Amino acid sequence: MASALTDRERWLALGLLAAVLLLGYLVLVHPWWTQPMLEVNERIQALRERELRVRTQLQQAPAVEKQLAAALALQAQRPGFLGEASTELATAGLVQRLEAVVKEASPGNRSCGIANQSPLPQATGERFARVAVQVRLRCGTPELAAVLHALESGSPRLFVDNLNILSSNYAYMAPEGGTGGLDVTFDLYGYLKPGVVAPAAPAAPAAMTMPEGGDAP
């Protein structure tokens, strides 16, 4: 009986010792030693993974630069965006392009001329910044077809939208005496290169009247 009680006390003492050791570990060792070491190991692992990613990116840099150079060369061969660096310059470029096309279709504006033109507000919600000009022409039918074809088939890419063609009750008389029987309005627009910052929503300025295109009604 005494031997049994001794064994029970021995096991009880061992259990109490184990509980004290566990409590001491949880209170003293784990928060002050184990947990900081685990955090240090996690940081070391994260730094190693970051170093591996950086090393991989550096190894891929020559290939990426080669692909970028090829893409820029392709874009230079087939320019689709307006070449100007701001909305104001791009608008002026659109106007110059329009004037050149009209003069080419009707030298001296004998049968086609620009009645007026005015920049349109910046469109919102589009992937690329759009630069647009509202145009009004007085043209003959062949000259109008030539103007629209030249605008949409040239480089950089320009687009014609909201095209409205009316037959005038009177003929447009150019200074040289030519006539154009169509009153035409449309929006001419193109897109700025990615990365060019355009105004969010500029107000449309007053319409500009072109002297060679006749007076607007």
Dist. CA 84–CA 12, nearest whole Å: 88
pLDDT at residue 178, rounded to an integer: 40
Dist. CA 111–CA 103, nearest whole Å: 10
pLDDT at residue 203, rounded to an integer: 45
Alpha carbon distances (Å) from 116 to 67, 81, 99, 195: 45, 25, 11, 31
- Domains in the chain, CATH or no CATH each: 1-78 (no CATH), 87-213 (3.30.70.60)
In the DSSP assignment, the letter for residue 198 is -
**Claim: this prediction has a pTM higher than 0.75:** no
Question: What is the per-residue pLDDT across 145-161, written as a single tens digit (0 to 9) for each?
Answer: 999 999 998 888 899 99
Alpha carbon distances (Å) from 168 to 20, 110, 155, 171, 184: 104, 16, 32, 6, 9
pLDDT at residue 177, rounded to an integer: 39
Q: Are 85 and 96 in contact (CB under 8 A)?
A: no
Question: What is the per-residue pLDDT across 38-85, written as a single tens digit (0 to 9) for each?
Answer: 787 888 888 888 888 888 888 888 888 888 888 777 766 666 788 888
pLDDT at residue 206, rounded to an integer: 45
Q: Which residues of the chain have pLDDT under 70?
A: 1-5, 25, 28-29, 75-79, 169-180, 195-217
Residue where the block lists tokens 């910052």: 197
Q: What token pair was written down for 209?
A: 């009247």
pLDDT at residue 184, rounded to an integer: 94
Alpha carbon distances (Å) from 55 to 59, 61, 210: 6, 10, 60
